[in-house]
Structure 1
Amino acid sequence: MNIEQIYTGCLAQGAYYIVSNGEAAIIDPLRETQPYIERLQKDGVVLKYIFETHFHADFVSGHVDLSKKTKAPIIYGPTAKPEFETIIAEDNQVFELGNIKIKVLHTPGHTMESSSFLLMDEKGKETALFSGDTLFLGDVGRPDLAQKAANLTQEELAGLLYDSLYEKILPLEDDIIVYPAHGAGSACGKNMQKETLDSLGNQKKTNYALNQKDKKSFIKAVTDGLLPPPAYFGVNVAMNKKGYESFDEVLSKGLHALFPDEFEETAEHTAALLLDVRNNNDFAKGLIPQSVNIGLDGDFAPWVGALIVDVQQPILLITDENQEQEAVTRLSRVGFDNVIGFLKGGFDAWKNSGKEIDTVNRISAKEFEKEISGKEVKIIDVRNESEYSAEHMDEAFNKPLAYINQWINTLDSKEHFYLHCAGGYRSMMAASILQARGYRNFSEIAGGFGEIAKTAVPKSDFVCQSKVLK
């Protein structure tokens, strides 16, 4: 028997590849299926089952394409009602895989169909728990995503989650290894640990949600401090439930190379979003006017979903050389399937063609320190509230990037301000959106708060972020 966690950092998502005696199962696969098929061929095994822990909200699973290509059935837990052929398992139903068995545990609360999968090894010992979004490391799944579909409040869903955890999972043996669907950075929880697997016994000791005195305190603990879910979550749920366009077709359409003149003409005729996925330093030095920067070198897909929202939005890509396929793939993981082409030769081709270019007014932290000395200035900190609460500049206003569409119209277009995040990734996204909407009255700070903290600019007292989150 072999269990492999296939972890995708930019989504903070774990898929699982399990093999026993010539048969394989995959749990919560990513959208692109070819790597799985190549792995199956390399290992000389047959894919017997595709298990889905629930209808995912934060990414589009590869279950539909993978099933079509391999003929392996898709398995959901009780109450799931997908619009394609599947096996809807009963609670405690057991599936045989080679010499091992996988038992379905219906664990509603995050969503109504949420299920965990309990693996029993060759000797029948309960060895591993694939807990989906029911149990994370250090946290549990947020209970507010399925309210509308279930006609329940988040408190009622949290109560169901409590029952699932305390009746189905906590009675299991301490040495069982927990394999969650997500880790730190995912919007499906609020306080996840950085590790991606752990023993159930350690989670019983360290997970705040598993150490509440009663159901009432559990409900309060897991519902306190929940931020609104990203707007694209609902669309992803629908795609996972109803099915979607083949990834191969999405990739083929997106890899349509356009030379600068064609790129410009297509942009004008389609009202496509110009999405520049280069490093924020390169973007600051030169960009196509009206383009928005979300770098591939960070949490790309979640930020696309949070900032663009409309998955049907036509997109034209500006990438570094040979990065266009990676960009199209990552966009498809969160349901953005309408990439209609990319700029052949990248930004250099645009620049060398003599077309108009723009830049961002980026300054160093040292320059910032000199410019504000003895002056009253406006500073906008686009980090999350927890980061801001932990430590910030005394004069800074907290306006998280995720809510830029709400606060951008409150800015005075004539008043100069300074813009920063933690390291420059998010503030450059904000800067690009601001410039695309006509704001030129700001300076963005390179290196963000990480560099500002090295200066003598007055700052608040530091408070541990983990204490802020709790």
Structure 2
Amino acid sequence: MKIEQIYTGCLAQGAYYIESHGEAVIIDPLRETQPYIDRLEKDGVTLKYIFETHFHADFVSGHLDLSQKTKAPIVYGPTANPEFEATIAEDLQIFEIGNIKIKVLHTPGHTLESTTYLLIDENGKETAIFSGDTLFLGDVGRPDLAQKAANMTQEDLAGMLYESLYTKILPLSDDITVYPAHGAGSACGKNMMKETVDTLGNQKKINYALNQPSKEAFIAAVTDGLLSPPAYFGMNVAMNKKGYESFEHVLAQGMKALTAEAFEQLAEQRGALILDTRTNSDFAKGFIPQSVNIGLSGDFAPWVGAMIVDVNQPILLVTDAGDEEEAVTRLSRVGFDHVLGHLAGGFQAWVNAGKEIDTVNRITASHFAQEIENKEVTVIDVRKESEYAAEHINDAYSKPLAYINEWINTIDPTQHFYIHCAGGYRSMIAASILQARGYRNFTEIEGGFGAIAQTSVPKTDFICQSKVLK
């Protein structure tokens, strides 16, 4: 028996490949399926099942393409109602793969169809659970995402989650390995550990949600401090439930190389958003007017989802040479399938064509410190609330990037302000959006708070973020 966790850092997502005696299963596959096909062929095994733990909100699964290519059936837990052919398992149903078995544990709460898969090895020993978004390391799945579809409150769903955890998972042996669907950085939970594998016994000791004195206390604990989910989540759920274009079709369309002239014409004709995936430092020096910068080197796909929201938005890409395929692939993982093509030759081709360019007013942290000395200025901090609470510039305003569509209209365009994040990635996203919407009376700070902290700029006392989050 082999178990492999295939972890994708930019999504904080874990897919799983399990093989036994010539047969394999894949749990929660990513959108691009060729790596799985290659692995199956290399191992000389047949894919018997594709297990889905639930209808994912934060990414588009590769279940449909993978099933079409391998003829392996897609399996969901009880109550799932996909709009395509699938096996809807019963609670406690057993599936055999080679010499091992997988037992279905219906664990609703995160969503109604949420299911944990219990692995039973060749000797009949319960060995591991693939817990999806039911149980994370250090946390549990948020119970507020399925409220509308379930016609229930988040408290109702949290109560279901309590029953699932305390009756189906906690009675299992301490030595069982926990393989969750997500790790730290995912918006599907609020307090996940950076580790991606643990024992159930250790989680019983350290996971706050598994140590509540009562159901009421559990509900209060898991619903406390939940931030609004990214707006694109509902659209990803719909794609996972209803279906989508094949990844190959999406990739072929996105890989169309366009001249600067064709790029400009297509942007105007289709109302396409120009997405520049270069580094924030390169973008600041020059970019196509109205384009939005979300760097490929960071948490690219989740930020695209949070900022652009509408997965049907036509997109044109500006990338560094050789990054086109990666950009299209990562966009497809969160459902942005309408990439019309990319600028052949990158930004330099735009410059060579004599087209108009724009820049961001960016200064160093030391320059910032000199400019504001003994002056009253407006500073906007776009980091997360927890980062701001831990330490920030005195009198700075906390306006997290995730909520820019809510706070942007409160900005006075006649009043100058400074803007920063932790290192420059998020503040440049904000700067590009601000300028695309006509706001130009601001200065962005290179290196963000990390660089500012090394200057004499007055700051609050540091508070450990782990204490802030409790």
Q: Distance in 1 between matches of 2:114 and 2:79?
A: 9
- For residues 147-187 of structure 1, the C-alpha deviation after alignment (integer angstroms, 9 at most, x for no partner) is 11111110000000000000000011111110000000000
TM-score (structure 1 length as normaliser): 0.99
What is residue 47 of structure 1 aligned with on the other side? 47
| Letter in structure 1 aligned against 2:309 | V
- Once residues 371 and 22 of structure 1 are traced to their aligned partners in structure 2, the CA distance between those partners, rounded to angstroms, is 67
Match of 1:196 in 2: 196
- Quote the residue 2:182 is aligned against: 182
| Shift in Å, 1:358 | 1.1
Q: Spell out, residue by residue over 1:336-394, the C-alpha distance to the aligned partner (whole angstroms, 9 max, x if none).
A: 11100100000011111111111111111100100000000000000011110111111
What is the match of residue 173 of structure 1? 173
Q: What letter corresponds to residue 134 of structure 2 in structure 1?
A: T
Deviations 1:103-153 (A, max 9, x none): 010000000000000001111111111000000000000000111111111
Matched, 1:443 2:468: no
Q: What secondary structure, in the 3-state scheme, does the structure 1 residue paired with 2:137 have?
A: coil
Paired residues for 1:443-462 under 5 Å: 443-462=443-462
Give the SS at the match of 1:149.
helix
Distance between the aligned counterparts of 1:319 and 1:371, measured in 2?
34
One-letter code of the match for 1:333?
R
| Alignment of 1:346 onto 2:346 | yes
Distance 1:144 1:439 in 2: 34
Separation (CA, whole Å) in 2 of partners of 1:466 and 1:64: 40
Partner of 1:119, secondary structure, is strand
- The reply to whether residue 247 of structure 1 matches residue 247 of structure 2 is yes
Note the C-alpha offset of 1:24: 0.6
CA RMSD of the aligned region, Å?
0.6
SS at structure 1 position matched to 2:376: coil
Matched residue, 2:261: 261
Other structure's SS at 1:312 match: coil
> Where does residue 213 of structure 2 map in the other structure?
213
Cα distance between partner residues in 1 of 2:366 and 2:375: 15
The residue that corresponds to 2:99 in the other structure is 99
What is the identity, as a one-letter code, of the residue corresponding to 1:161?
L
Q: How does 1:110-189 map to 2 (within 5 A)?
A: 110-189=110-189
Q: Secondary structure at the match of 1:103?
A: strand
State the AA in 2 paired with 1:265: Q
Partner of residue 223, structure 2: 223
Between 1:354-363 and 1:172-181, the stretch displaced more is 354-363
Q: Which amino acid aligns with 1:140?
A: V
Write the deviation string for residues 245-281 of structure 1: whole angstroms up to 9, x where unpaired.
1111111111111011111111111110000001111
Mapped to 2, the partners of 1:321 and 1:39 lie a distance apart of: 28
Aligned length, in residue pairs? 470
Q: Are positions 1:357 and 2:357 aligned together?
A: yes
Name the CA distance, whole Å, in 2 between partners of 1:159 and 1:377.
Answer: 48
1:320-331 alignment, distance < 5 Å? 320-331=320-331
Shift of 1:322: 1.2
Q: Which runs of 5+ in 1 are unaligned?
A: none
> Residues of 2 paired with 1:392 and 1:212: CA distance?
33
The runs of 4+ residues in structure 1 deviating greater than 3 Å are none
1:8 is aligned to 2:23: no
Mapped partners of 1:189, 1:11: distance in 2:
13
- Cα distance in structure 1, aligned partners of 2:152 and 2:427: 37
State how far apart, in whole Å, the 2-side matches of 1:231 and 1:260 are. Answer: 32
Q: Residue type matched to 1:304 in 2?
A: V
Query: Aligned letter for 1:466?
Result: S
Q: CA deviation at 1:72?
A: 0.2
SS at match of 2:30: coil
Amino acid at match of 2:83: E
Give, as a single letter, the amino acid of the residue that structure 1 aligns with 2:266.
T
CA separation in 2, counterparts of 1:207 and 1:455? Answer: 38
**Hey, what does 1:296 align to over in structure 2?**
296
Q: Which consecutive unaligned segments of at least 5 residues does structure 2 have?
A: none
Letter in 1 for 2:385: E
Shift of 1:469: 1.2
Percent identical: 77
2:412 maps to 412
SS of residue in 1 equivalent to 2:178:
strand
